[in-house]
Chains A and B, each alone.
Chain A
Amino acid sequence: MRNIIAFPLLGLAVILQSAIVSQFSLLAGYADLVLVILAAWALQDGVTTAFHWAFLASIMVGFSSHLPWFIYMAGYFSVVFLALLLQRRIWQAPLLAMFSVTFLGTLVMHLLSYAYLRVAGDPLPFRDTMGLITLPSLLLNLLLSIPLYSFMRDIAHWVFPPMEEV
């Protein structure tokens, strides 16, 4: 039942992304708050609703963006999939897993966005896109991933309390 926190939390994240985070750009890139939240959520122990959150987030972000929702859905599902994959492999180093998922997830998200816009006819030079958008966004996402991982761990403990608390 506590999973309904996804609605206000992701809604707030989309609003913050649009109103504030996108104003703090490094070169032409900026952080993806929703992507990092999803990565941090999917990496928490006991979380079983990561794909539901990704679905909800992609609908919300797709509503405010010119990019279609299915691109966000593909990107965010990839992030969750990567998180679940890496969680089993490097479960003893959660921050390393967080960095890895953020890094790979950002790359996948940007490659999907780039591919869609190229197919749609937008003239995007690959080198400029990588150098001016993707690399700065990667750096900002990695910086954002440390505090957000701690925050989402607290949220996960609240939504899925450990057994002794139950």
Chain B
Amino acid sequence: MKDLFSRTLQTTIIFLIIGGILALSFGGFFSSVTNRFTGGFVFTQEWFATRYQAIQEFLAAPRDIASLRNRNTELQKQVSDLQAQVINLQQRVNETEILAALVDFSRTNPENTYKAASVIGRDPSPFLHYIIINRGSNDGILRGMPVVTSEGLVGRVDAVIADAARVQLITDPASSVNVHLKNANTDAMLIGSVTGDISLDLISQDATVQSGDLILTSGLGGGFPPDLIIGQVVNVHKRAAELFQQSTVQPAVDFGRLQIVLVIINFRAVDIAPLVPTTTP
């Protein structure tokens, strides 16, 4: 009984001492001692933790690099796929814009029937300004048919096979188009050159031609329908000693960026060669 009492008292005293120490420590009375103790503890734990993390990184790093590389490759592939999609969509947007412009053009000129064609090539010789389109006799294309874009006149069909045709541009050195200057109310002849520039010749000396005058096809000669836009006058060269005036022309069509063109399929070019008088010996 005495032992039991003394043991209970002992336990109570120990609890009281521990509780008192805890109460004093929570109250901040042992802060210098606890700081020193916890500081050492934290330092030791930090030392072990950093070493452990270093070892863990060392052991796990190759696996991470490999997985990162794989992920990087996947992402790069995704990026290249998305870039290809963007390029594809941009191309489609460009084509849609061109087609929309061509549809507008055909609506504003309902008297003509058009067949759209893509430009698939150019003449292999740099001396010639011809393009190759992906529509041929199977699509009703015939030699001599005019070719236009929404901006204006491009040229005329020169040769046709079943599924393709070759078009002579108005910039070709051998090309000549009878034109009408709207503001000056006079006719002239549009000719191409080796550089791809176009110019006007055979302008009457009496005509008053100014920079900016609009140039349209006249329809004379039967090679092209009238009133197709060609471009604007840039400079006029008028010399009293010459029979005619000449002028340089800014074409309405950008011949370097031709992608889709329209062939006027209800126009038949008239061959006036038999009507041209020939000298008989």
- Chain A positions within 8 Å of B, measured between CB atoms, are 14-15, 17-19, 22-23, 25, 27-30, 32, 34, 61, 64-67, 110, 113-114, 117, 120-125, 128-129, 132-133, 137
- Chain B positions within 8 Å of A, measured between CB atoms, are 120-128, 130, 132, 158-159, 166, 168, 173-174, 191, 193-196
**Interface residue from A32, A34, A61, A132 paired with B194 (Cβ < 8 Å):** A132
- A62 → chain B closest CB, angstroms: 9
The docked-state distance in angstroms from the alpha carbon of A27 to that of B173 is: 16
The docked-state distance in angstroms from the alpha carbon of A14 to that of B168 is: 19
**Interface residue from B126, B166, B174, B196 paired with A22 (Cβ < 8 Å):** B126
Residues on the A chain within 8 Å of B173, using CB? 117, 122-124
Inter-chain contact A25/B158, CB cutoff 8 Å: no
Residues on the B chain within 8 Å of A19, using CB? 120-122
Inter-chain contact A22/B127, CB cutoff 8 Å: no
Inter-chain contact B128/A66, CB cutoff 8 Å: yes
The docked-state distance in angstroms from the alpha carbon of A18 to that of B199 is: 27
Residues on the A chain within 8 Å of B159, using CB? 66
Number of contacts between A and B (CB, 8 Å)?
80
The docked-state distance in angstroms from the alpha carbon of A137 to that of B194 is: 14
Inter-chain contact A133/B128, CB cutoff 8 Å: no
Residues on the B chain within 8 Å of A113, using CB? 125, 127
The docked-state distance in angstroms from the alpha carbon of A132 to that of B203 is: 27
The docked-state distance in angstroms from the alpha carbon of A86 to that of B168 is: 38
The docked-state distance in angstroms from the alpha carbon of A128 to that of B158 is: 25
Inter-chain contact A29/B126, CB cutoff 8 Å: yes
- A119 → chain B closest CB, angstroms: 12
Knowing A122-B174, A123-B173, say if A133 contacts B194 (CB, 8 Å). Answer: yes
The docked-state distance in angstroms from the alpha carbon of A129 to that of B123 is: 17
Inter-chain contact A22/B122, CB cutoff 8 Å: yes
Knowing A65-B128, A66-B158, A67-B128, say if A125 contacts B194 (CB, 8 Å). Answer: yes
In the complex formed, the residue of B with least CB distance to A13 is B124
